[in-house]
């Protein structure tokens, strides 16, 4: 009887032969572990649904506590900067010693953050609550991305897209839930969503039980350059380019997530609930685009998907500030579909550049790049206070032009190309 294959952290970089089969080959032959992928994607959906509530209740917090746009931006910064600061640290630690049950433990931070946000009556407490939700995100993303890769069966882009789909769809649900529940019932109703955090804790604990036997705690494999691969200098340059590309994408999405409601209310005079539905439409398009980006990268190469998805959105982002209400909704769908398709390709491209630091790289791209987007959101809020929301969207329209930096990305062997 064949012994079961145990997948260690080292198998991401070095093929360890078990009998006549490497773990990577065995995994590819077995195909993706669909139940695990569905579970981790569902957990991502629950996690990001709770996180998206923060931005969705901004109009309520703004009116209740007389906040300006700079203070709204600081709430976004408190959430995203916490995740930005800690995700690479968590990823670096789990590269050395995987923590299969850390996901459910980290989700407890989101649980308490939501309870605190529902009861907060001071601006400082709101910031602390947002930071606690960010802490839960910092623990969740690096290790869950590793689980998605282990369950991929060699279809890394597909697995990353399934993982991203859950998060993107969860993000899109925040405005709808806020419109249906938080707006009618007030800030205290946010506590009801702590039940979602409890469900996520249970699901992640079960996933941890699957994850634990798949890993062995060994010293991380030493870094080495594959024959014909890019030099360490080119890898460093490529990583900086990928961070810049993800920053441009995330800052644009963050600007719409944080201020699109105010933009629609200010320019077209719609109600808060109507504006939240328009935001949902944009975020739902993001979810669909995020799903298709990974498989397209597996099929045609990640570099070409990165080129098309960021630069391809530029004509539509330039048109958005000059469109009417209906046209704005249509353009937001097109922008969401195109620009979100790059996320999976960027992350998998980076993982393939530095496979021996998988957790840290995942943490950097889920954390730092998204956190920089949060910092940008705070700056945009300050800019909106001194100019106008419409001017902010005219400036943000040029962000996809940063996609021209993709010319500096190296050509990788399959599947990254």
Q: Using one digit for the tens of pLDDT, what is the confidence trace for 384-411?
A: 888 888 888 888 899 889 888 888 888 7
Assigned domain for 94 exists: yes
337 lies in a domain? yes
Single pTM value for the model: 0.64
Q: Tell me: pLDDT of 97 over 70.
A: yes
**Separation of alpha carbons 259 and 239, rounded Å:** 29
DSSP state of 219: P
**Least-confidence region, from 1-5, 47-51, 229-233, 368-372:** 1-5
Tokens encoding 351? 């993982």
Number of domains into which the chain is organized: 1
Residue with tokens 């509530």: 53
Structural domain includes residue 16 = no
Which pair of tokens denotes residue 44? 């991502």
The beta-carbon contacts of 54-57 under 8 Å, at least 24 apart in sequence, are 54/79, 54/117, 54/130, 54/133, 54/174, 55/174, 55/257, 55/258, 56/174, 56/175, 56/177, 56/178, 56/179, 56/182, 56/276, 56/279, 57/178, 57/182, 57/187, 57/190
Structure letter (DSSP) for residue 8 = P
Q: Which of the four pLDDT bands, split at 50, 70 and 90, describes residue 369?
A: low
Q: Which tens digit of pLDDT belongs to each residue from 261-318?
A: 888 998 899 988 888 889 888 888 887 887 787 788 888 888 888 888 888 899 999 9
- What is residue 146's predicted lDDT score, i.e. its pLDDT? 82
Indicate the DSSP class of residue 403. Answer: G
Domain with residue 359: its CATH number is 1.20.1250.20
The answer to whether position 169 is within a domain reads yes
Q: Are the C-beta atoms of 74 and 378 separated by less than 8 Å?
A: yes
Instruction: Answer yes or no: is pLDDT of 128 > 90.
Output: yes
In a domain, 224, yes or no: no
Q: What is the pLDDT of residues 176-217, one digit of tens each?
A: 887 788 878 888 888 888 888 899 999 999 998 888 887 654
Residue 110 in any domain: the answer is yes
The verdict on residue 79 lying in a domain is yes
Would you say 253 and 48 are in contact if contact means Cβ atoms under 8 Å apart?
A: no
Does the residue 2 lie in any domain? no
The two tokens of residue 50 are 């709770």
- Domain span at residue 190 reads 31-215+229-408
Supply the pLDDT for residue 24: 42
């Amino acid at each position: 009887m064949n012994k079961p294959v145990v997948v260690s952290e080292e198998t991401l970089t070095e093929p360890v032969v078990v009998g006549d089969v490497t773990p990577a080959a065995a995994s590819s032959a077995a195909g993706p572990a669909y139940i695990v992928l569905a579970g981790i994607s569902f957990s991502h959906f629950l996690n990001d649904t709770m996180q998206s509530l923060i931005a969705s209740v901004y109009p309520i917090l703004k009116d209740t506590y007389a906040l300006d746009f700079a203070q709204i931006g600081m709430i976004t910064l408190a959430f995203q900067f916490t995740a930005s600061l800690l995700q690479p640290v968590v990823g670096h630690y789990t590269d050395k010693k995987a923590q299969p049950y850390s996901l459910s433990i980290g989700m407890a931070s989101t649980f308490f953050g939501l309870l605190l946000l529902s009861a907060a009556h001071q601006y400082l407490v709101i910031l602390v609550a947002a930071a606690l939700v960010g802490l839960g995100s910092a623990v969740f993303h690096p290790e869950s991305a590793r689980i998605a890769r282990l369950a991929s069966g060699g279809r890394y882009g597909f697995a990353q897209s399934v993982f991203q789909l859950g998060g993107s769809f969860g993000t899109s649900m925040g405005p709808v839930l806020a419109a249906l529940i938080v707006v009618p019932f007030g800030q205290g109703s946010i506590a009801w969503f702590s039940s979602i955090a409890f469900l996520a804790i249970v699901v992640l604990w079960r996933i941890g039980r699957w994850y634990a036997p798949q890993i062995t705690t060994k010293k991380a494999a030493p870094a080495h350059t594959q024959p014909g691969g890019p030099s360490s200098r080119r890898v460093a340059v490529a990583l900086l380019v990928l961070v810049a590309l993800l920053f441009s994408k995330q800052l644009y999405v963050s600007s719409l997530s944080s201020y699109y409601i105010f933009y629609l209310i200010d320019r077209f005079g719609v109600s808060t609930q109507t504006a939240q539905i328009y935001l949902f439409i944009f975020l739902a398009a993001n979810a669909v685009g995020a799903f298709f980006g990974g498989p397209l990268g597996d099929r045609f190469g990640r570099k070409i998907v990165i080129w098309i998805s960021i630069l391809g959105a530029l004509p539509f982002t330039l048109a958005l500030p000059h469109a009417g209400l209906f046209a704005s909704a249509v353009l937001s769908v097109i922008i969401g579909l195109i620009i979100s398709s790059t996320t999976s390709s960027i992350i998998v491209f980076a993982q393939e550049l530095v496979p021996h630091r998988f957790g840290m790289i995942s943490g950097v791209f889920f954390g730092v790049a998204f956190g920089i987007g949060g910092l940008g959101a705070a700056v945009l809020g300050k800019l909106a206070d001194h100019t106008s929301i419409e001017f902010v969207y005219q400036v943000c329209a040029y962000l996809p032009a940063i996609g021209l930096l993709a010319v500096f990305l190296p050509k990788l062997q399959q599947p990254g190309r």
